[in-house]
Amino acid sequence: MNNSFELIHGGERLSVEAGTSFAELANKEQGKYPSPILLATLNGVLHELGSTVEEAGELRFLTLRDKAGFQSYERSAVLLLLAAQYSLYGKTGREIWIDYKESGALRCRILGQNRVSREELARLEAAMRELVAAALPIEKRSVPTREAVRLFAARGMKDKAELFRFRIHSSVNLYRLGAYEDYFYGYMLPNSSYLNTFSLEAYEDGFVLKLPDRRKPETLMSFQPTQKIFEAMESSRLNLERQGIETVGALNARAAAGKMKELILCAEAQMEKRIGDLAEKLCSRDEVRIVLIAGPSSSGKTTFARRLATQLLALGKTPHAIEVDNYFKNRSDTPRDEKGNYDFESLAALNVDGFNRDLNRLLNGERIELPRFDFISGERNYRGDYLSCGPSDILLIEGIHCLNEALSFSIPAERKHKIYVSCLTQLNLDAHNRIPTGDARILRRIVRDARLRGNDAAESLSRWASVSAGEERYIFPNQENADDVFNSALPYETAALKPYAEALLFGVPESHPSYLEAKRLLKFLSYFLTFPSEEIPATSLLREFIGGSTYGA
């Protein structure tokens, strides 16, 4: 009987006895990695370091620099926080709620408290560091799902009990650190000693758990909160709280009770009101003639702009759409990046001077001929597309640089209004497991690109890193320049996207680099009950992605 396996790691062959833990291998191979090893993959399958080797194949280790590694650190840091809270106060009802991530930190609240003192945070952080110094194991056990529901109900964790009431999987993995046990969505670290980079800081009516910088794992991310984004997130969170749908379990309960139509209509009415309020705000300022709209990929900017145009029409304005992409420089003048490729995302790729000249002429009542950029020939040309603006006309301009003052540098501030559109999901799996805002956008993109561009999920996932890098470079640094932030997230959208995205994600082969991410998203989708998409209005922003929109595509 063969009691050893041959593994390939970094081109080297390793003979490993059956039952050897990945942690043992990580200790031997750590010197080849610039930061601590946190997880392992064997033949593309993700493993915690406490797991053992049970087959031959290709071995790879993940660190904080890898997305899956960072996510495991974040989840484990939350467990550390909750375990420290429990060690200080026990079952006192001082429940911590993890809301969302902002500027590299997790926004947290203590339910029932309007303020968290610095002294309280100092005690909590000290308790966390004691647990780190103790190097306590993070222990995992698997329990039947029905038992997990009873266990969480008995502990007063109704959000978790409700979440698992709708799970079809037979078992649930629970994690324990010290005397505290909880459920976490995803893989965890081996023990508390790995969690040595964090801090707590008071923020608004709660606090933030600051996390490491993926690019410099030994340092904390610089916490620079943006007030407008915070206000938009808080408004969305409070709205979900009022409706009693803060968690996926609560959403599933609505679906099971046959009340999704009511929820959808309510969410759509609220979004329409917010768009209408924005239109009234614009019309109340007679001097505003230009509306600049920007936001990250798959935020629904196109449908938002068209719905805003409809509201402006209803208020007596005549909106005109101008596409920034038509102001691309000719291909021969396009700048190149450090790799020698055309850099189409750079502001320098646009004819900014020509753009400003045309806008100023329109504001002065002149008639201009709009350019049209031919993406095949790489040339900007003119085809007799003329435009002039009267007193009631307003220009709607959408593009990744629209919040950057350098794009519209010659337009006086009082003549323009900047809107940042993003999908800022506030729905949680439960009190301690947040849903990253990027997950909603990547699911939107996968579904839309398969329908309109013929891209499979593997291709959409593989491009996401590049898309995200462009957003971090050109969009996020300018988001605070916005006059208004519009949150395009809909509380029901993941359940609606599920049947469209699942089949596409199952199509990602195990050999593809994006397989781990596809598998993670599939697990995430498994928490949601679905419902017929026929209930979604044709005017919904979500129709931009699943099809059937009043506004085309």
449 lies in some domain: yes
Q: Pick from 267, 87, 63: which is nearest to 176 by CA?
A: 87
**Same-domain check for residues 298 and 435:** yes
Looking at the domain assignment, is residue 180 inside a domain?
yes
| Residues 26, 125 within the same domain | no
59 and 44 part of one domain: yes
Q: What is the pLDDT of residue 1?
A: 47
Within-domain flag for 552? no
Q: How confident is the model at residue 224, as a pLDDT? A: 86
Question: CA triplet 462, 347, 470: central angle to 5 degrees?
Answer: 20
Whether the CB-CB separation of 269 and 338 falls below 8 Å is answered with no
364 lies in the same domain as 322: yes
Residue 49 maps to a domain? yes
Domain co-membership, 470 together with 404: yes
> Which residue, 549, 545, 534, 540, is CA-closest to 268?
540
For the chain, the maximum distance between any two Cα atoms, rounded to a whole number of angstroms, is 87
Alpha helices (H) along 324-477: 352-363, 437-452, 457-474
In order along its 553 residues, the chain shows pLDDT tens digits of: 468 899 999 889 999 998 899 999 999 999 999 999 999 999 989 999 999 999 999 999 999 999 999 999 999 999 999 999 999 998 766 789 999 888 889 999 998 888 899 999 999 999 999 999 999 999 999 999 999 999 999 998 999 999 999 988 889 999 999 999 999 999 999 999 999 999 999 998 899 999 999 989 989 998 888 888 889 988 999 999 999 999 999 999 999 999 999 999 999 999 999 999 999 999 999 899 999 999 999 999 999 999 999 999 999 999 999 989 999 999 999 998 888 888 888 999 999 999 999 999 999 999 999 999 998 899 999 999 999 999 999 999 999 999 999 999 999 999 999 999 999 988 999 999 998 888 999 999 999 999 998 899 999 999 998 888 888 899 989 998 999 999 999 999 999 999 999 999 999 998 899 999 999 999 999 999 998 889 999 999 999 999 999 987 6
Identify whether residues 263 and 150 lie together within a single domain: no
**Boundary (domain end) residue, out of 170, 192, 220:** 220
**138 lies in a domain?**
yes
**Which H/E stretch holds residue 228?**
helix 227-243
**Domain end: 171, 199, 220, which one?**
220
Same domain membership, residue 212 and residue 239:
no
The confidence score (pLDDT) of residue 90 equals 86
Tell whether 368 is covered by a domain: yes
Q: State the CATH number of the domain containing residue 285.
A: 3.40.50.300
Does 551 fall in a domain?
no
Residues 58 and 206 reside in one and the same domain: no
Strands (E) in 167-214, as ranges, are 171-177, 180-183, 199-203, 206-210, 212-213
Residue 288 buriedness (CB in 10 A; 0-12 / 13-18 / 19+): middle
Q: In this structure, are 159 and 285 located in the same domain?
A: no
CATH number at residue 42: 3.10.20.30
First to last CA, the chain: 60
**What's the total number of domains in the chain?**
3
Per-residue confidence (pLDDT) for residue 469, from 0 to 100: 86
- Nearest to 177, CA basis, from 150, 142, 140, 212: 140
Please give the Cα distance from 530 to 130 (Å, whole number). Answer: 44
Whether 399 and 491 share a structural domain = yes
**334 burial class (0-12, 13-18, 19+ CB within 10 angstroms)?**
middle
The last residue of one of the domains, among 30, 63, 96, is 63
- 262 part of a folded domain: yes
CATH of the domain at 151: 3.30.980.10
Torsion angle of the four alpha carbons 447, 451, 455, 460, in this order, in degrees rounded to the nearest 10? -20
Under a CB-based contact definition with an 8 Å cutoff, are residues 446 and 546 in contact?
A: no
Q: Are residues 203 and 260 in the same domain?
A: no
Which domain does 42 fall in, by range?
Answer: 4-63
Residues 434, 474 within the same domain: yes
